[in-house]
Structure 1
Amino acid sequence: MTDLYSFLEHTSNTSDFKADLSTRGGYITFSNSGRRGGVKYFQIGLDNILQTLKDIYENLSVFQSLTQYEETPWRTNGSSLFKDPVANANSTVQTKPLFSTLSKIIIWANQPEFDEINPDNHIVLTENSLKTTISRLEEVANSFKPQHSTIIKTQNKKHQIIYYGAPGTGKSYTINETTKDESVIRTTFHPDSDYSTFVGAYKPTTIQVTMRDVSGHKIIEGGKEVKEDRIVYEFVNQSFLQAYIQAWKYYAETAVDAEPQKQYLIIEEINRGNCAQIFGDLFQLLDRNSTGFSDYPIYTDNDMRKQLFKAFEGLSISQSENINNLYNGRNVTEQVLKGEILLLPNNLYIWATMNTSDQSLFPVDSAFKRRWEWQYMPIGKGYDDNGNELNWKICIGANEYDWWSFIEKINLQIGSTTNSEDKKLGFFFCKAENNCISAETFVGKVIFYLWNDVFKDYGFDGTIFKDTDGGTLSFDKFYRADRNGKAIVQNNKIDLFLNNLGVKMTNDSENLFLDENGNTENSPTKDFSRYSLNGNGNYSKGGIVYEAIKLYAENNPEITAQKIVDTWLSLSINISNLIETDDMWNKRKEQTKDAKFESKSKVLTLHNGEVIHISNQFNVNRIQDFINCVNAQDWNIRIEKL
């Protein structure tokens, strides 16, 4: 029987989805096909696969009919029935590569019976095939069990993890919460990061020295030595060496039978820097043995050796014998304390974040990838520190939209447009204040991101960026300039965008019904204010709005319905659906379940026979905003409260 390592190596040559068994740990690295723009690699442990096969076996009545690859049923059943979190996450984001990997393993375990099957399209799910696979994979997984060691293991947490996912999925937050009671040193990679800024280098520093005369005697004035600042070059430790030195100092403080304190080195945005350039020879240290120490120490140069020797001077490690035994009796602890070698201890954890939407900055090669555990951060609802669900809203004037509804709707659009998970938005992409994301924040952060980083490269053929005139709702249309040239957010354009997307509203504006005086049945105080138009008439709130727009239409008989609608909406009056063309109104009518929909607006027929619809849903605040906006225009229209 061909071993699993050789079998996967051979089958990957003819498969769109590569799968390789590691030789130094119990996991499989698999990839997508790369047909949608670049091959991406993922890792899953043999224990994770075993649990997944057991889940399929326990739910065989569900899976036995899914022998041909169909994305929807495999994604749906995987997300609901796979207990293992790694397999569960991959079933929703890399469904077919996971399917192909499982099929390859079943074919391997049952060879030569299924040798002619194409694992990319077919999987054999019978009671016997699954029992055989689980039994044989257990044998392979057991071969990777670590040997007994007298070293106290600190493997409750993985030593090197990259948390990856869409922006706003809580990668940094998860790390912060996990390490909040630990010793942490944090750094952020960027395009200019290099070895010296990560490890350490000589830098100019200022020290005070005593001034001396030409004879070498100290200069004394007023009974005190005269000092001067002098620039000298000193070796300065950066984040890696700071964490490394502290981790070994914790070991020096620890008794022979105790576990040392953990030290964390957190790297934010790891893929925004060139990892090969930044890590350099430290790359070799990332291979850890079964106890968490580096497999292969590396020798230091003279400058680093002096620095480490100075940092470790006077220290001794009580667990030296046990540590040295891991390296065949070589006295590595003495070499560490002398600064001769670099060797990662098992209490040093290196955790990082990767924003998948930035993967194009510096691609991470497969050799680097396999030295890390990969933790996918799915897009889901947000929760506060007490585990309560966050009900954030997008607050656009008087209208409030459900933030989670927006996240779901926009991610569907991003996924279908880009065929990728990389550009999607996480729940925490924006920060709310008092559960509210303001119009300014929404446009400046969300719309800007969508326009420039997502849809710009794919065109705007869809309906979500469709303007009322049938053109494109370009980014500049979300702003207008006031008289001082200051950019003012156009609330009506945001409303239009969110309505195009079909985002759920959270306030009562959809079901709220105001009478002609702007009151509801439950209004605590009734308001019966009346208004005049250019000194004439006695109108209610809804009536004065209708009459003002009617007068504007009469004064401009040549203007089309669309032009009138665009003009009035450009005022950004604080109410959605203030004025609509007949097409806009009918489109909303088809989508609404509001029984009072038709009574919430009035029809105005123009000189050319076109029809527009004018809202009559105005309370005290809305009518005042309307009056202020209209009176500020040079339209010879003046509204006053009687």
Structure 2
Amino acid sequence: MSDSNQVHFSEESLDDVQGCEMEVVALFLAQGDEPQPPHKELGYSTQSEAFNAVAAKFRTNPHTVKLTRDSFDHHTESGRVGWKENLRPALAKVYEQFGKLSREELLAICQAVLGLENVEVSRSHGVQFEEVFERVVAANSETRTASPYQAQVVDFSNTGRRSDGWFSLTLDQIRDCLRDMIDNHEKFDSLNKSKNGYHETSWRNAFDSNLSNRVARTMGGVQTLPMFELLAKIIHFSNDSSPRTYKSIETDRHKLERALDVLSNHLSGLSNAPSQTASEGARVTGGDNILFYGAPGTGKSHSVWEMIDEDSDLYFTTVFHPDMQNSDFSGTLKPGINEHDQITYAFRPGPFARAVACAWANPDKKVFLVIEELNRAVAAAVFGELFQLLDREPDGSSSYNVDFPSPEFEKWFNNVAASDAERLGLPSNLWILATMNSADQGVYPLDTAFRRRWRQQYLAIDYNKAPEADVVFVTSADGKQSTKWSSFVETLNRFLVTELQVDEDRLIGPRFLNDQDLEDGHLPGKLLIYLWDDLLRHHQDKPLFHSSVRTYGDLDRRMSEDKPIFSGDFLSGLKSEKGEASAPDLDSDPS
């Protein structure tokens, strides 16, 4: 796109996107493929590349981006069926506000929020929070900073000469630091001028003596240089876009106040955003443990993310696996390297610890812990004593509290949650959402005592949720048949139940294959290998397949040679949309 073809829009238009950037990009990705697919208009060669890039930009996961795109599909001209349910409130608001824009306007906004080239935005006033952090992240060198995620958390690193060491502060805690530097301006300004920038012992003492927030004060004591660099970058780039010098900081009062204004204005915008939770000061209630289960492809993960409003809720995700231990889930003491290349030990929280501490620290927010594939680990062992916390009161809080798993956990928790708790409990604003499929090979059973502490939601097979796509397969030596994927999978499941007595939780859900899997109309290998290895492993005859198929190699070879792979009994139950397929010798070998 040349400069003469740039799309211009005001900063006010871009301001409307703040807080829903990922959703707006997902809305654009849900547009039709004319004049070219939307992901290619954004410069990505494939949809997967686009999902990964957008997820990295907005600190989420590619699956979330795809699910959001899928939610919009049914409301655009994408040609994909998407999810036919009504848009959840946050997405409905995005669609109402941006769904009527022209494709060119929506593209320009997406290019702007993704930081792509050839987009000119008219600025009507001073530097904004997003600009400051774009500069901060771009200035990464000895220490690094990541863009804020969940609208309020900043990750930053140490010098990383041997390995990455990453730490977190909330924007509120950083704002407290700037306020403290202004309130104690003479001390900080004098220190800066006398030491001509960074002097570790002096700045460590200054942080310890003058920072009011105990988390920030602790961070300044153990990671002094990374903390110094983070504050220095924010102050500098709130006032100037030019490069800054490593280990230097500006302590001019006006520049400190300007940095504080930028951060305060951003946080004020967050607090003024509409909320579906309780009023400030009141803790949200209703927290629960919910287990989604059903056959593969029934939409378990989608159902989880339908419960989460990514605009206003806070969430943490993990995937259980066979090697997962209690320390991975809750947290443990682990070694690291400080800025002096010395080995230090610090508590590294697991997803459970982070979610619980976040929920206690944010009483007016819904907080979610998402556990995918719950039964791929020995779940009761991974939870350990935390298992008892799953008993809930009517308001959603824990019926029983437990001892902290370790003194390090307790110290970390009380710092982060700003509490003085002696025992651990779940607050009423924490939801634990899990998915599982008991049919998969290599999974562990859930014992009754553990499972009954979850509200269990079974997802039945619903063929109306199948992608709108056709599948093509060979029926005879010179004949092929085409049918809707929804019809194919329904017939397949009926055959598996009636002829092979396959259990319901091992059948094929309509979302087992997605739009990308069905793009070329051929049945992908992941379906065939599931049928062969998982469902028919103990059926020597393999009556679903052609009589000449004796090994999976035979099956793969016949697929590549365009020969029939399914048995006549199965194919007789399928009807082509163009009429009955005529194949009197379905089980004969055309070769």
TM band (smaller chain): 0.3 to 0.5
Work out which of the two has the higher radius of gyration on C-alpha atoms and give 1 or 2.
Answer: 1
TM-score by length of 1: 0.43
Task: Name the structure where strand makes up a greater proportion of residues.
Answer: 1
